[in-house]
Structure 1
Amino acid sequence: MIEVLAPGPYATVQDLGRHGHAHLGVPGSGAADAASLRLANRLVGNPEGLAGIELTFGLARLRFLAGAWVALAGAPCPVWSTARDPGIGAPFWVPEGGEVRLGAPSWGLRTYLAVRGGIAVEPVLGSRSTDSLSGLGPPPLRPGMVVPVGMRRGVPVGAVAGLEDIRVDLAPPRPPGAAVLRVLAGPREDWFVPGALAALCAGPYEVSQDSNRVGVRLRGPELARAKEGELPSEGMVTGAVQVPPSGQPIVFLTDHPPTGGYPVIAVVSEADLAIAAQLRPGDEVRFSTRLPH
Structure 2
Amino acid sequence: MSALLVRAVGGPVLVQDAGRPGHAAIGVGSAGAADRASYTLGGRLVGNEPGAAALEVVLGGLEVEADGHVTVCVTGAPAPLEVDGRPEPSGAVLTLRPGQRLRLGTPASGLRSYLSVRGGLELPALLGSRARDTLAGLGPEPVRVGAVLPVGTRAPGEVLVDAVPPSRYDAVPVVRVVRGPRDDWAADPDTLVTRTWRVGGASDRVGLRLEGDPLGVVPGKGELPSEGALRGAVQLPPDGRPVVFGPDHPVTGGYPVIAVVVDADTDRLAQLRPGEELRFRWV
Q: Shift of residue 90 of structure 1?
A: 2.4
Deviation string, structure 1 residues 182-225 (Cα, Å, up to 9, x no partner): 000011001121xx321010110111110000001110121112
Mapped contact 2:47–2:155 kept (Cα < 8 A)? no
- Matched letter for residue 288 of structure 1: R
Identity in percent: 47
Distance 1:39 1:176, change over 3 A: closer
Q: Distance in 1 between the 2:167 and 2:40 partners?
A: 23
Instruction: In structure 2, list runs of 5 or more residues that go unmatched.
Output: none
Instruction: In structure 1, list runs of 5 or more residues that go unmatched.
Output: 158-169
Q: Distance in 1 between the 2:38 and 2:223 partners?
A: 37
- Matched letter for residue 61 of structure 1: E
2:131 corresponds to 1:129: yes
2:111 corresponds to 1:118: no
Mapped contact 1:131–1:137 kept (Cα < 8 A)? yes
* Number of the residue aligned with 1:63: 65
Mapped contact 2:5–2:66 kept (Cα < 8 A)? yes
2:32 corresponds to 1:30: yes
1:27 aligned counterpart, secondary structure: coil
Mapped contact 1:199–1:221 kept (Cα < 8 A)? no
2:190 corresponds to 1:188: no
2:252 corresponds to 1:259: yes
Q: Which of 141, 144, 151 is matched with 2:143 structurally?
A: 141
Mapped contact 2:122–2:149 kept (Cα < 8 A)? yes
Q: Shift of residue 82 of structure 1?
A: 4.2
Q: Residues 150-165 of structure 1: matches in 2 within 5 Å?
A: 150-153=152-155
2:206 corresponds to 1:214: yes
Mapped contact 1:72–1:87 kept (Cα < 8 A)? no
Mapped contact 1:82–1:94 kept (Cα < 8 A)? no
* Number of the residue aligned with 1:81: 83
Distance 1:229 1:152, change over 3 A: same
Q: Distance in 1 between the 2:217 and 2:275 partners?
A: 26
1:197 aligned counterpart, secondary structure: coil
Q: Shift of residue 287 of structure 1?
A: 0.5
Q: Residues 33-48 of structure 1: matches in 2 within 5 Å?
A: 33-48=35-50
* Number of the residue aligned with 2:19: 17
Q: Which moved more, 1:38-47 or 1:176-185?
A: 176-185
Q: How many equivalent pairs are there?
A: 276
Distance 1:211 1:3, change over 3 A: same
2:266 corresponds to 1:273: yes
Mapped contact 2:233–2:257 kept (Cα < 8 A)? yes
TM-score between both structures, scaled by the size of structure 2:
0.92
